[in-house]
Amino acid sequence: MGSNDLLVSEEQSLLKSVEQMSKEGDEPPSAYHVVEGLNGFGSNKDSSTQTPIPIIDVSLLSSEDELRKLRSALSSAGLFQAIGHGMSVSYLDKMREVVKQFFALPVEEKNKCARAVNDHEGYGCDTIVSEKQVLDWSYRMYLQVSPEEIRKLSVWPQNPPEFGEVLVEYAKKVKSIVDDLLRSMARSLDLEEGSFLDQFGEKSTLATRINFYPPCSRPDLVLGCKPHTDGSGITVLLQDKEVEGLQVQIDDKWVNVPTIPDALFINIGDQMQIISNGVFKSPMHRVVTNTEKLRMSLVVFNVPDAENEIGPVEGLINETRPRLYRNIKDYLMINYSCYQEGKIPLETIKVAHNSA
């Protein structure tokens, strides 16, 4: 804990924490002001609530109708709200509650789980990699949950005492939903059931990110989370029960994602876009801030085993749809270095085709 404290104070001397600024009603410093067209990642277009977000009952995916809906949702917007997933509202409420208990602890207590300056895992704000970076108005907890041997237990909360156990159990349930979904996704494209799941592998990882977005005095200038696509295979998001904030880009417009208390919001990540040869889309999304209410979200990323080579499945490569991406390993590493260099990671692994 001693050395973590040192690292925390090093970063905080550069920056007053978002939590502190929010509490004191500070005007966000310019490092938090969004720049149009950041990293080539879209701009601040008007939000629109006109476009409905597809809702899919995942317990019905053995029916052709629901399967068609799934294929259509994932190959257009790349996302949907999942109901019928088997987790009750009271269970989801319990998850939200446990997570909130940790975040409600005093800063000194949370900082016992602080991430090291050059590490992603643990509690804290954005990792600062460049002076030009625009910072997110959030604080969060990032933990690798599975496989068990990759857990960095030194940054796992001891308080509330059940935190770890509850998070692991939740991640397991999410994985079983994702596995079923990956099978259905393959079937929806007339592929062998295991076509996608096999690329994730037995040792696919589950990482969780718990985001807290405190009230912000300038929602017009500051985002809770900058526009990005996920580097995962599949992302499963449990939203705040009341406070909205997530927006997804559909047909070049930002669309609000409503909160549905018993739904999980599921989106395609870049790696699934690669594996599906671009058939399924990894959507751009962001989180807006508000002046009144704190918002939380609990995200589970399911990521193919970094040792597995992943690439477009053969059945989705043909004359009209040539191979879009080359095979790669450890996409998260590529994603991270592109982020530092301001490049779009998917662009860097595209296969060039001569149109001659």
Question: Which residues sit at the interface with ligand AKG, rule CB under 6 A?
Answer: 209, 211, 225, 230, 237, 239, 246, 285, 287, 297, 299
Q: Give the residue carrying structure tokens 């989180």.
A: 287
Distance of closest approach, residue 70 Cβ to ligand AKG, in angstroms: 21
Residue type, 75: S
Task: Give the residue from 300, 328, 132 showing the smallest Cα distance to 208.
Answer: 300
In this complex, which beta carbon is closest to ligand AKG, that of residue 110 or of residue 285?
285
The option from Fe ion, ligand AKG, none interacting with 246 (CB < 5 to 8 A, set by class) reads ligand AKG
Distance of closest approach, residue 231 Cβ to Fe ion, in angstroms: 9
The token duo for 31 is 């490092």
In this complex, which beta carbon is closest to Fe ion, that of residue 111 or of residue 302?
302
**Alpha carbon distance 319, 327 (integer Å):** 19
Distance of closest approach, residue 334 Cβ to Fe ion, in angstroms: 17
Torsion of CA 190, 235, 332, 95, to 10 degrees: -150
Q: Which residue is nearest to Fe ion (CB)?
A: 230
First to last CA, the chain: 62
The option from ligand AKG, Fe ion, none interacting with 66 (CB < 5 to 8 A, set by class) reads none
The option from ligand AKG, Fe ion, none interacting with 249 (CB < 5 to 8 A, set by class) reads none
In this complex, which beta carbon is closest to ligand AKG, that of residue 67 or of residue 237?
237
Distance of closest approach, residue 346 Cβ to Fe ion, in angstroms: 15
The option from Fe ion, ligand AKG, none interacting with 181 (CB < 5 to 8 A, set by class) reads none
The option from Fe ion, ligand AKG, none interacting with 282 (CB < 5 to 8 A, set by class) reads none
Distance of closest approach, residue 116 Cβ to Fe ion, in angstroms: 23
**Alpha carbon distance 162, 167 (integer Å):** 9
The option from Fe ion, ligand AKG, none interacting with 237 (CB < 5 to 8 A, set by class) reads ligand AKG
Give the list of residues 6+ apart from residue 335 with CB closer than 8 angstroms, or none. Answer: 231, 270, 345
Task: Return the HEC string of 301-354.
Answer: EEECCCCCCECCCHHHCCCCCCCCECCECCHHHHHHHHHHHCCCHHHHCECCCC
In this complex, which beta carbon is closest to Fe ion, that of residue 61 or of residue 301?
301
Distance of closest approach, residue 323 Cβ to Fe ion, in angstroms: 26
In this complex, which beta carbon is closest to Fe ion, that of residue 199 or of residue 249?
249
99 by DSSP, 3-state: which?
helix
Contact indicator for 91, 239 with CB cutoff of 8 Å: no
List b or e across 110-149, with b for residues whose CB sees 16 or more CB atoms inside 10 angstroms: bbbbbbbeeebbbbbbbbeeeeebbbbbbbbbbbbbbeee
In this complex, which beta carbon is closest to ligand AKG, that of residue 197 or of residue 296?
296
Helices (H), the chain: 2-14, 18-23, 64-76, 89-103, 107-110, 163-188, 197-200, 270-275, 331-341, 345-348
The option from Fe ion, ligand AKG, none interacting with 332 (CB < 5 to 8 A, set by class) reads none
* Binding residues vs Fe ion (CB under 5 A): 230
Phi, psi of 2 (to 5 degrees): -55, -50
The option from ligand AKG, Fe ion, none interacting with 81 (CB < 5 to 8 A, set by class) reads none
In this complex, which beta carbon is closest to ligand AKG, that of residue 189 or of residue 300?
300
In this complex, which beta carbon is closest to ligand AKG, that of residue 73 or of residue 237?
237
Distance of closest approach, residue 210 Cβ to ligand AKG, in angstroms: 9
In this complex, which beta carbon is closest to Fe ion, that of residue 126 or of residue 230?
230
Distance of closest approach, residue 237 Cβ to ligand AKG, in angstroms: 6
Distance of closest approach, residue 50 Cβ to Fe ion, in angstroms: 23
Task: Give the residue from 344, 254, 268, 264 showing the smallest Cα distance to 298.
Answer: 264
Task: Give the residue from 347, 319, 327, 288 showing the smallest Cα distance to 47.
Answer: 288
Q: Which residue is nearest to ligand AKG (CB)?
A: 297
